Amino acid sequence: MSLRLEPCSYEAAQYAVLRWHYSRSMPAGKMFRLGCWYEDTFWGVIIFSRSSNYRIGRPYGLEQTGVAELTRVALKRGHPFPVSRAVAIALRLLKKHNPGLRLVVSYADAQQGHVGKIYQAGNWAYVGQAGWATSIELLGRRWHRRSVKSRFGTSSIGWLRAHSDSTARAVGNPVKSKYLMPLDKVMRRQIAALLKPYPKRLPDRGTPDQQEQAV
């Protein structure tokens, strides 16, 4: 028997995410949940969500309702099928059930050691880094901004330089690699100018299977 994807319950999706996704958390808001079965065995879930960022579609001339975000790929380790194949089927079903959608966005979390293997295998468009985790170098060490604010009452670089460490500075690190999947030819042509070469593999921070499930 072949790989089969179909809509599944919230409970089934939650079961997969809590056990097989590194975040151990369900996305919030409206979702399109697809269970993955192979030879009648449940292997996990793929979830698309409406982004909480109402501006997500603006760079592409789209309203929020025209964009979905691939937020979870939670599959049991040892799955007998390529993740990229399951995602490709999921995209076709998403488009079929949501004809108004024109673009899917997803991110590979660099802080988890993810580079986006499944997107590269599926011919997604890589458009660069998104989201920045800002820390502060202060008193000879790197601090999270919240920790600085908790200790000093502020995370203002100017104040810190004047009252604590004249060399204090903010340090930003890219935390996610951003990928796009256009759902029609017009959108594909529209984003063509944004394409960048796929990023190279990051140093290993887990098993290859964990890296492939980077959503």
We report the CATH number of the domain holding residue 204 as 3.40.630.30
Q: Using an 8 Å Cβ cutoff, are 112 and 181 in contact?
A: no
144-194 confidence digits (pLDDT tens)? 887 888 899 998 899 999 999 999 998 876 678 999 999 999 999 999 999
Same domain, 96 and 149: no
90-129 confidence digits (pLDDT tens)? 999 999 999 999 999 999 987 667 889 999 999 999 999 8
Same domain, 42 and 112: yes
Same domain, 89 and 156: no
pLDDT at 203: 41
Same domain, 61 and 106: yes
Same domain, 163 and 106: no
Assigned token pair, 39: 């030879």
Q: Using an 8 Å Cβ cutoff, are 155 and 149 in contact?
A: yes
Same domain, 43 and 91: yes
pLDDT at 210: 37
Same domain, 89 and 186: yes
Closest CA to 138 of 124, 154, 125: 154
Would you tell me how many other CB atoms lie within 10 Å of the CB of residue 115?
20
The total number of structural domains that make up the chain: 2
Same domain, 53 and 155: no
Exposed (0-12), middle (13-18) or buried (19+): which is 200, by Cβ within 10 Å?
exposed
Same domain, 53 and 127: yes
CA distance 81 to 86: 8
Residue ranges making up the domain that contains 165? 132-171
Same domain, 57 and 137: no
9-62 confidence digits (pLDDT tens)? 999 999 999 999 988 999 988 999 999 999 999 999 999 999 878 889 999 999
**Coil/strand/helix, residue 86:** helix
Report the percentage of the chain scoring pLDDT > 90. 69
Closest CA to 114 of 177, 71, 72, 24: 177
Full-model pTM: 0.76
Same domain, 153 and 189: no
What would you report as the CA-atom Rg of the chain, rounded to the nearest whole angstrom?
A: 20
Same domain, 144 and 114: no
